[in-house]
Amino acid sequence: MGRNQTRHESSVHTIAVICDPEAAPAEIAGHLCRVLPTLLDEACGGSAGFDLRLHRERLPIDPQGNHRSLIDHAGRMKSRRGWDAAVCVTDLPLCGEDDEPLVADVSLASGVAVLSLPAFGAPRLRSRVTEVMVHILQELLPPVRDSRPTDLATPSLTGRRLPGPFRLVVPNDDGIDAQVVATRGLWRQLAGMVRVNRPWRLWRGLRRGVVAALAFGLLLLINPTVWDLGIDHTWYDLLGISLCVVAAMVVWLIFYHHLWVSKDVGNRQQLFLFNASTVITFAIGLSVAFLGLLVVTFVASHLVLSDNVLAKHFGSPPGVVEYLKLSWMATVGASVVGALGTGFETEEDVRQAAYGRRETERRKQCQSGTPGASDPFSAGHG
């Protein structure tokens, strides 16, 4: 997959964007391949063209929990395939100098960079990744870098001022010329981890629970006791009951499927990031599932129930409010059954639904006590 932005084949620079074949890395990598040729051409004043190639494959994961293996792998692929530069896009959350969220490692000599999505945070993910990548790629390609005017005697990435809440540091690490780190720390990385998990898609990985909730919701719709409970409760009561049910489902799923990290993963900050991202991911995901179930139940109530039957039961014709309240009460009961239905999901299925593939692998490493995995956020490259 590529795009040629030049009239002369000899001035085309080939850049590979390497990523896992699914989830956020694949989505962002595809976006970069579409927009970067034009942006790089504009940044270089039309002096060069760019051929962006999207390469999807199962990327290696380092047993020590860092991404040194990604840098080495990208470097080998770049040399073997004759690319001018290569960038790995990963959903691994990493820390750079002084435990700041690591956005990217850059090796100018190898022409390779590794981009970590969680450090970008949740808002404006695509635009922020794109802005940073334009600067990094201009430095990875020597002909482009050397043709650009600069006040520095030796052009260097560390002489750039990056847009947004990012800055450049020079790490004490052989083979890494610069690191891009996020300046707003813990909360930005937490938001980025949740964003990468894509919690609004959680329900798609909990199919047994969803089917159980839908089936039981239809049964509850024809139960007069559910009608009475729904109508008698106030809106605040229904909201409070729903929040309690969602909270209970979050606790059930996390602890039943052993997703809570209690072992030492390096330090308290990393332990907090692990567990907080899990709780928030499930809270958002199950809230979305609850609202979706409520909509389905409300629509089904108009198909299953009869106005005449409800009028005989309540003594007056039902309106939208009555239908919504009894549907809400049915959804509460159905959600509890759906949560129990997730007990039939395998632990691996729930992990895949909640996290990206690479984050799933690393959390399993951490919880299994794999040697060398005690600090899974470390960006150290040994």
**Predicted pLDDT of residue 7:** 42
Model pLDDT for residues 126-143, shown as the tens digit of each residue: 888 888 888 888 878 765
**Predicted pLDDT of residue 328:** 95
Residue 242 has pLDDT above 50, yes or no: yes
Model pLDDT for residues 28-45, shown as the tens digit of each residue: 888 888 888 888 877 776
Q: Which two tokens stand for residue 322?
A: 């009555």
Quickly state the pLDDT bin for 374 (edges 50, 70, 90): very low
Tell whether pTM > 0.75. Answer: no
Residue 353 has pLDDT above 80, yes or no: no
Q: Which two tokens stand for residue 227?
A: 């009608």
Domains of the chain as residue ranges with CATH: 9-183 (3.40.390), 198-345 (no CATH)
Determine the Cα–Cα distance for residues 249 and 260; give it in Å rounded to an integer.
Answer: 14
Q: Do 360 and 351 form a contact (C-beta atoms < 8 A)?
A: yes
Model pLDDT for residues 48-71, shown as the tens digit of each residue: 778 888 888 877 766 444 567 778
Query: Quick one: which of 58, 69, 43 has its CA closest to 133?
Result: 43
**Predicted pLDDT of residue 360:** 65
**Predicted pLDDT of residue 89:** 87
Question: Which one is predicted more confidently, 113 or 71?
Answer: 113
Which amino acid is it at 42?
E
**Predicted pLDDT of residue 377:** 46
- Helices 235-256 and 320-341 pack at an angle, to 10 degrees, of 10
Q: Computed over its alpha carbons, how large is the radius of gyration of the chain?
A: 25
Cβ neighbours of residue 47 under 8 Å, at least 6 residues apart? 11, 144, 147
CB atoms closer than 10 angstroms to residue 168? 21
Percentage, residues of the chain above pLDDT 70: 77
Among left, alpha and beta (phi > 0; psi -120 to 50; other), residue 121 is: left
Query: How does the average pLDDT of the chain come out, rounded?
Result: 78
Among left, alpha and beta (phi > 0; psi -120 to 50; other), residue 64 is: alpha
Model pLDDT for residues 193-204, shown as the tens digit of each residue: 888 788 888 887
Query: Quick one: which of 265, 228, 231, 293 has its CA closest to 370?
Result: 265
**Predicted pLDDT of residue 47:** 65
- For 352, phi then psi, to 5°, come to -65, -35
DSSP output for 295-339: HHHHHHHHHHS-HHHHHHHHSS---HHHHHHHHHHHHHHHHHHHH
Percentage, residues of the chain above pLDDT 90: 20
**Predicted pLDDT of residue 164:** 67
Residue 183 has pLDDT above 70, yes or no: yes
Residue 248 has pLDDT above 60, yes or no: yes
Which amino acid is it at 203?
W
Helices (H), the chain: 23-43, 68-81, 125-140, 142-147, 185-197, 207-221, 224-232, 235-256, 268-304, 307-314, 320-341, 347-354, 357-368
Q: Which two tokens stand for residue 301?
A: 């109530």
- Lowest average pLDDT, out of 163-172, 231-240, 281-290, 320-329, goes to 163-172
**Predicted pLDDT of residue 381:** 38
Residue 304 has pLDDT above 80, yes or no: yes
**Predicted pLDDT of residue 163:** 65
Q: Which two tokens stand for residue 74?
A: 């990208």
Question: Which one is predicted more confidently, 264 or 117?
Answer: 117
User: Which is it for the CA torsion 311, 315, 316, 320, positive or negative?
Assistant: negative
- Lowest average pLDDT, out of 11-20, 132-141, 208-217, 263-272, goes to 263-272
Model pLDDT for residues 6-25, shown as the tens digit of each residue: 344 447 788 888 887 777 88
Among left, alpha and beta (phi > 0; psi -120 to 50; other), residue 74 is: alpha
